[in-house]
Structure formats: C-alpha cells, structure tokens
Amino acid sequence: MGKHTSRRTTRLMLYRHGETVDNVRKVIQGQSQGQLTEKGIEQAREIAEQLKDEHIDAFIASDLNRSIDTCVIIAAPHGAAVVTTHLLREREWGDFTGLYIPDLKDKPFPDNVESIGTLKHRARLFIAWVRKQYPGMTVVAVGHGIINKAIQAVHYDKEMRDIPPMLNGEMRLLEL
C-alpha cells in the first residue's frame, strides 16, 4: 500500500465493531475479547460491501478479537492485512467487567476503572500515531464505543458527554 500524500489530511474512517454476544446480553465487555454475533458479522459485511471500491491505505483494529474479526471482514475485499494496536482498546472497566449494565445504575465506579483523563490521553496518542504513520492517507480504524467516543472528543475538543454514542456497526469520518 503506497503512500498517497497529495492530501494534507488523513481521512480516518472510525468504526465501532459489530454487535457481540455481550452487547446483546447488556454485559460490560471492557478489555475482554468478545465474540461477534451473526448480526455483528453481517454489519461488518455490509460496510465491507460499501467500502469495496474505495481507496483505503490501511486497516487498523484494536487488539481485541471483536474488533480484529470485524476489521478482517472489512479489509477482505481489499486483500489487505489488519494492523492492531492497544491504543484502540476499549475502556478498562475493572471490577465492572462482566457485569450486567442495568444493575450498575448509580453505583460508584471502582478504583480500577480507567479514568476519562487516561482514556483521552490514549485517544490523543492514537490520533498522533495515525497522523505520523499514515499522513494524507485513508484509514479504516475499528475500535469500541467508549474509545471511539474519546477519539472524537479529543479531535473535536469536546467533552465526552457531547459526543453521541456510536452504535455497533456505525462509521464516522474524521479529517485529521
């Protein structure tokens, strides 16, 4: 994949992995691997079909299986390899990992939940890494709901709460 530097900005096609078993069960996955459902696989196939004729220079995924599996499906029509990075990992939910989300309403966060500050720092590192590695290129990056929100918050200089949640299988374009 050659470097196309005619464009000044890097086009980041930020995607949230397809639906997983734990998304359906309303369980916090955090940094556990996760497994795509049939619907999640279909979501990835749909975006792969939409992007098959687009020029894409790189495909990046979180190093968690639910993102890797999604990204591999999206990259397949391009015959491209998937690069993984821990910077795209979902928020570390500590002791909340594996728990039923509705049961956690109004519960105080355990001390081992990754802070918003740390999450946004990781998002800044990811953006800087993409700009450096893929200047002026088009990149598909498959991440997770909260880290994708942090990337957008950093990019647009907004608070996390001001970024609408991304659904499974949703893509947003950022010009870096």
Q: How far is CA 113 from CA 29, 62, 117, 150, in A?
A: 12, 19, 11, 15
The predicted structure's pLDDT at residue 115: 97
Sign for the CA dihedral angle at 27, 30, 35, 38 comes to: positive
Specify the pLDDT at position 1: 45
Taking only the tens place, the pLDDT of each residue in 49-68 is 999 999 999 999 999 999 99
The whole-number pLDDT of residue 2 equals: 45
pLDDT of amino acid 7: 53
pLDDT-flagged residues of the chain (< 50)? 1-6
What's residue 102's pLDDT? 97
- Residue 4's pLDDT is what? 46
d(CA 84, CA 53): 23
Residue 124 · residue 134 · CB < 8 Å: no
Q: What is the pLDDT of residue 149?
A: 98
**pTM, entire model:** 0.94
Residue 4 C-beta-side C-alpha neighbours within 13 Å: 12
Please give the pLDDT value at position 8: 80
